Amino acid sequence: MACFALATQPRPMAMRRAGLLGRHFASPFRLLCRQASFRLNLGVLSGGQVSMEPQAAVDRLKESGLLRTQGLIGGKWIDAYDGKTIQVQNPATGDVIASVPCMGRNETTNAISSAYNTFSSWSKLTASERSKCLRKWYDLIISHKEDLALLITLEQGKPLKESLGEVSYGAAFIEFFAEEAKRIYGDIIAPTIDDRRLFVLKQATT
């Protein structure tokens, strides 16, 4: 890499301005370094060396069925009602990963209504049944941990190891509540009247 020196020393103000500009504008060399680092990062998966370009990673996720490009409303994967989409770009390479629906007020309202209506049947399940559902969700996340981490890295450009930690961290909350669902017990509280008993029942409500 060639270097050159200025004939005169830059003034302090000019140096400060150059430093500020450097925060917002990356040189071609720095951009190439970021892209090379990103590709090297994709090459490390589960401790093994795997040669993988960003597009190959996207294809792998599509084949696994984990890369969805529609919105889930009412149990169905759908596009935006007006057909508008948003391009999701890889911040490290600038490549387009996918196009996802640009949903607005109508889609959001319908999604909330659908979730509200579904909760009625969900709240009628026993604590054990709800626990099994959450546990299955947790197991699915862990079984696809590497692919989910790959998706995070493609979308955000962060190191793959950090993405793996993020998946495990998020899944831990689901595991906790899967077990917590089975620990919801009723309580008997001492009353102020001898022939009465106060019983507290905990259940899912709307």
Predicted pLDDT of residue 129: 92
Of 86, 83, 82, the closest CA to residue 100 belongs to 86
Predicted pLDDT of residue 41: 55
> pLDDT, tens digit, for every residue of 84-139?
999 999 888 888 888 999 999 999 999 999 999 998 888 888 888 999 999 999 99
* pLDDT at 48 exceeding the cut of 70: no
* Domain over 25-200 is classified CATH 3.40.605.10: yes
Tell which wins on pLDDT, 34 or 80.
80
Check: pTM over 0.75? Answer yes or no.
Answer: no
Cα within 13 Å of Cα(205), Cβ side = 3
Tell me the average pLDDT of the chain.
Answer: 77
Mean pLDDT of 170-190: 85
- Boundaries of every domain in the chain: 25-200
Tell which wins on pLDDT, 50 or 78.
78
Of 127, 129, 120, 135, the closest CA to residue 173 belongs to 135
| Residue 60, C-beta contacts closer than 8 angstroms, at least 6 positions apart | 52, 147, 150
